[in-house]
Amino acid sequence: MKSNLDLLQELVSCRPVSSDIPAVNQAMLLLRDFLQAQGVHCVLEKIGENQVLYASTQPGKVQDVLLNAHVDVVPAEDSQFIPRVENGRIYARGVDDDLGCVVCIARILCQKLGKSSVGAIFSADEEVGGHTTAKMIELGYGARKLAIVMDGPNCNIAIAQKGIQIVELIARGRGGHSSQPWSCDNPIDKLIDAYLQLRQNWPKVTAEDQWQNTMAACICKAGSVGNQIPDEARMTLNFRFLSEADRQNILTLLGQLKGVEIKADRYCQPLISDGKDPAFQIFREAIKRHFPQSDPQLVRMNGATDARHMTSLGVPIAISGIPGGGCHGPQEWLDLQALEKYILVLSDVIDAISPQ
């Protein structure tokens, strides 16, 4: 059997950037071949052009425990797809987010084969919305007792994450020469006015008090030369919200804006699990056992994972991850010893939830 390091390096070398579907499919097939060689039950579902892998310790779409990690990664320079190992760490694109977790789950499936009831969805597009995970849930893949999404805070357990609503503001006007602004209807002015009107509804959020609704301007496009007023201006806004009621309030505020058209884009609902569920205490104890210097906490995430697509399962959903760092950056890394320890963590959790 390949070592964890060998499998991780091979997955990185596929360069499975989300937009490069053939490369993501190549990584998915590599993973499928590895698991099938160990006797793990594997099913490939075709979702659009993506191949999506479901693997389990026994036949069936629904197991006691459902694990999840994503095979796709964000873009990077070519050099980041050449892994290097230094001082117990592996440096490469995707090792922290999320290929190290993919390897962790693959190893667990091999260990629990024919013993515990465990399934895993390896999604293909988490970095661009996670539609493949959502579709797998629609196809009936699920859990009876617990879902664990391995794509979260190192040695902590996230039990909640904010929802997302992305919208585009579009202002249209009448362009012309910049020397004669009186003869134009400047859409940039309209866009700025609408944005400032909207922004006044958002309190300042601090690092100490992050669990708040937020708004961020992410893209602004208008004009092409310095002496011409354009006919159109656009701005993309990213809202993070705590509840569906908050989202409706956001949409109401957007509907009150003057001089702009609102185009709704990506949306996902928030996730909130009951932190009192015994499964979370089992998970915390397992982390503490194998990472004795840690103090695992139940936390809430500002970001989103594929957990947002699993709320319909009706089971506790835990989000966690292997210690690493530099996610999406030029020095992304994963602690290789921590990878080995997290395999033990998941093993302990599964033994408690789905005893042999």
**Tens digits of per-residue pLDDT, 93-115?**
999 999 999 999 999 999 999 89
pLDDT, tens digit (0-9, with 9 covering 90-100), for 288-333: 999 999 999 999 999 889 999 999 999 999 999 999 999 999 999 9
321 & 186 share domain: no
- Model confidence pLDDT, tens digit, residues 197-251: 999 998 888 888 999 999 999 999 999 999 999 999 999 999 999 999 999 999 9
Mean pLDDT for the stretch of residues 163-174: 96
CB 79 within 8 Å of CB 53: no
For residues 269 and 229, the model is more confident at: 229
**Same structural domain, 280 and 320:** yes
Worst-scoring range by mean pLDDT, 31-40, 233-242, 296-305, 334-343?
296-305
Continuous segment of H or E residues that includes residue 255: helix 244-255
CATH of the domain at 241: 3.30.70.360
291 and 155 housed in the same domain = yes
Residue 315's CB: how many other CB atoms inside 10 A? 20
Question: How many Å apart are CA 174 and CA 230, to the nearest integer?
Answer: 7
Q: pLDDT tens-digit profile of 127-157?
A: 998 999 999 999 999 999 999 999 988 899 9
156 and 172 housed in the same domain: no
Q: Are 296 and 152 in the same domain?
A: yes
Q: How many domains does the chain have?
A: 2
What is the predicted pLDDT for the residue at 269? 87
The whole model's pTM is what? 0.89
The mean pLDDT of 180-200, rounded to a whole number, is 96
- Say how many C-beta atoms besides its own lie within 10 A of residue 252's C-beta: 9
C-alpha dist (Å) from residue 119 to 16, 63, 214: 22, 6, 35
263-298 burial, b at 16+ Cβ within 10 Å, e below that, comes to: eeeeebbbbebeeebebbebbbebbeebbeeeebeb
- The DSSP code for 98 is I
CB 48 within 8 A of CB 135: no
Give the pLDDT of residue 11.
Answer: 98
Same domain, yes or no, for 14 and 74? yes
C-alpha pair distances (Å), 183 with each of 177, 180, 209, 235: 9, 6, 47, 24
Q: Is the domain of 152 the same as that of 280?
A: yes
Are 177 and 319 found together in one domain?
Answer: no
Q: In whole angstroms, what is the distance from residue 38 CA to residue 21 CA?
A: 26
Please identify, among 268, 291, 316, the residue that sits at the C-terminal boundary of a domain: 268
Report the distance separating Cα 149 and Cα 129, nearest Å: 15
Which residues pair with residue 17 across a beta bridge? Answer: 73
Q: In terms of domains, do 254 and 322 share one? A: no
Beta bridge partners of 63: 143
Q: Are 152 and 320 in contact (CB under 8 A)?
A: yes
Residue 356 reports pLDDT greater than 80: no
Say what the alpha-carbon torsion angle 255, 261, 265, 271 is, to the nearest 10 degrees.
-20
Please say which residue of 245, 268, 291 terminates a domain.
268
Does residue 85 sit in the same domain as residue 12?
yes
Contact (CB, 8 A) for 322 and 339: yes
Confidence of residue 83 (pLDDT cuts 50, 70, 90): very high
305 closest CA partner among 151, 134, 94: 151
| Domain span including residue 239 | 164-268
In a shared domain, residues 90 and 28: yes
Q: How many residues does the chain have?
A: 356
Instruction: For the chain, list the strands marked E by DSSP.
Output: 41-47, 50-56, 62-70, 84-86, 89-91, 118-123, 142-154, 157-161, 163-172, 176-177, 214-222, 228-229, 232-241, 261-268, 271-272, 298-301, 317-321, 324-325, 333-335
pLDDT band for 349, please (50, 70, 90 cuts): very high
What mean pLDDT comes out for the span 184-209?
A: 93
| Mean pLDDT, residues 333-342 taken together | 97
Same domain, 98 and 77: yes
Query: So what's the pLDDT on residue 92?
Result: 97
Contact status, residue 4 vs residue 11, Cβ threshold 8 Å: no
Q: What is the DSSP string of 293-310?
A: T----EEEESS--GGGG-
The domain that holds 341 is classified in CATH as 3.40.630.10
Q: pLDDT averaged over the chain?
A: 95
Q: Which of 246, 268, 290 is the last residue before a domain boundary?
A: 268
